[in-house]
Chain A
Amino acid sequence: MKDRYDVIVVGAGPGGSITAKTCAEGGLDVLMIEKRQEIGDPVRCAEGVGTDALLKHIAPDKRWIAAEVKGSRIIAPDGTEILMSSDAAMKDVGYTLERKVFDRVLAQKAAMAGADVMVKTRATGLLRNNGKVAGIKAMYMGEMHDIKADIVIGADGVESKVGRWGGIDTSLKPHDIETCAQFLISNFDPGEYSEFYIGEKYSAGGYVWIFPKGGYTANVGVGILGSKSGKIRAITLLQKFVETTIPDGKIIEMVVGGVPVSGPIERTVTDGLILVGDAARQSDPLTGGGITNAMDAGKIAGEVCIMAKEKGDYSVRTLKEYEDKWRATIGKEISRALKVKNLLIKLSDEQLNQLAHSLDGVDVSTMELPKLLAVLLKKNPKLLWGLGSLF
């Protein structure tokens, strides 16, 4: 076991693997650790992803595409349906991934690019040199090791500790997290669209999703805003939905998880430390999607690590470039999504129905979410007052 690297990446999800791969391709000596003994499992994700955002990073591969989806269908509380995001040429606009395979393939790409990977290895703290981050303390198979590095990447997910150790408070308030439960349901034909059931009828400050997973299966899940959870929980909402909506469905897997919906946090770098993905709270606060944001952030983080190595400066002065770049790209979308989420969660089911009805006679089938919101805003200026500056 080596005891020194240029960069150590904590966490082998999509954000961690893209960071490690980018660093390795740039000639850096990089180690990626994963606390679990397997990569990609257990899944804590609804596995839906837009093809355009994903294919910037990786060529499509049947091994990890569980299903191709034609678009999205939003179902208002009174059953009104809004069909959107389908491509005019009917090409696939989204995938439902098989994360168990996808994450492992990404880790393997990092490894093939030259990164070292260690599983069953958990970071337990940071090493410091003159107050600066200088590596990690890690436990591998029950034994403690010190591993030095110039930069530590915290890609350690919703439960991130790396930021906290580095002095960045990443703790999520109850209203900054969606707490989720999901069943993989079999004996059920979900069709070719991803479905979103919105309104308090289904979940307070969240939604129910049905993502086709191929071969008469689907990920059926619910997220509820943490501040609304307690007496009612994600698991009970999900059981209720499945009993009433998919009574013949057979549950063949259960998934639980928390999704950060805080929007951009104050900072994601400090001397010798960068946060990536859910650890940096970069998941989309409106949809909860986090995979491609994490991958985009990982790419930027890797490139900044390469630049820092060239300069020989690992302080926040150099690493700040990561912060600036992600905020100027995915950060803009995340901020906008946060504002939309904050407005939508205040609307009653009746108001959501009104919004849905306002689209009567409008063809939104090929629109993506920002365009659809712009149309909604135009037709419901009073209800959506406050979004005017966004679209």
Chain B
Amino acid sequence: MSVEVNRFKCGYCGACVGVCPKGALELIETWIEVDDSCTSCGICARICPVGALEVKVK
């Protein structure tokens, strides 16, 4: 996983899922799951309304 989601900040709105070019994210109930197709592009982190996502540099 190359994107870290702060579950205590996340408002589980799914905006990040919509912008992911790889379809690597999924909103399930109240949390975001990230699969290994994530390329750390950072678009999700940029558009998150509350700043709950952070790209981890591998």
Contact = CB atoms under 8 A, between A and B. Distances in A.
B15 interface: yes
A174 B43 contact: yes
A161 B33 CA distance: 14
Interface magnitude class on chain B? 20 to 34
Interface in A99-130: 122
Contacts, number: 91
A260 B23 contact: no
Given A35-B29, A164-B23, A171 B18 contact: yes
A260 B15 CA distance: 9
Contact of B14 (A158, A233, A255): A158
Contacts of B27: 159
Interface stretch (A175-183, A185-193, A336-344): A175-183
Contacts of A42: 11-12
Interface in B24-58: 25-29, 43, 45-51
Contacts of A164: 23
A369 to B, nearest CB: 25
Nearest to B50: A235
A171 B14 CA distance: 12
A174 B17 CA distance: 12
A256 B50 CA distance: 8
B44 to A, nearest CB: 10
B20 interface: yes
A179 B28 contact: no
Contacts of B47: 174, 177, 179, 226, 229-230, 258
A181 B21 contact: no
B33 to A, nearest CB: 11
B15 A233 contact: no
Contact of A181 (B18, B20, B25, B50): B50
A255 B49 CA distance: 10
Given A235-B49, A256-B50, A160 B43 contact: no
Contacts of B48: 179, 229, 233
Nearest to B20: A171
Contact of A159 (B17, B29, B46): B17
B14 A258 contact: yes
B23 A226 contact: no
Contacts of A260: 18
A30 to B, nearest CB: 24
Given A35-B29, A174-B46, A233 B51 contact: yes
B46 A230 contact: yes
B20 A254 contact: no
B27 to A, nearest CB: 5
A158 B18 contact: yes
B49 A181 contact: yes
B15 A158 contact: yes
Contacts of A256: 11, 13, 15, 49-50
B19 interface: yes
Interface of A: 35-37, 42, 44, 122, 157-161, 164, 170-174, 177, 179-181, 226, 229-230, 233-235, 254-258, 260
Interface of B: 11-21, 23, 25-29, 43, 45-51
15 contacts: A35-B28, A42-B11, A158-B15, A158-B18, A160-B18, A161-B17, A173-B19, A174-B19, A174-B43, A177-B18, A179-B48, A226-B19, A257-B13, A258-B14, A258-B18
The list of the 6 closest CB pairs from A to B, nearest first, reads A258-B15, A159-B14, A159-B17, A256-B11, A234-B49, A226-B47
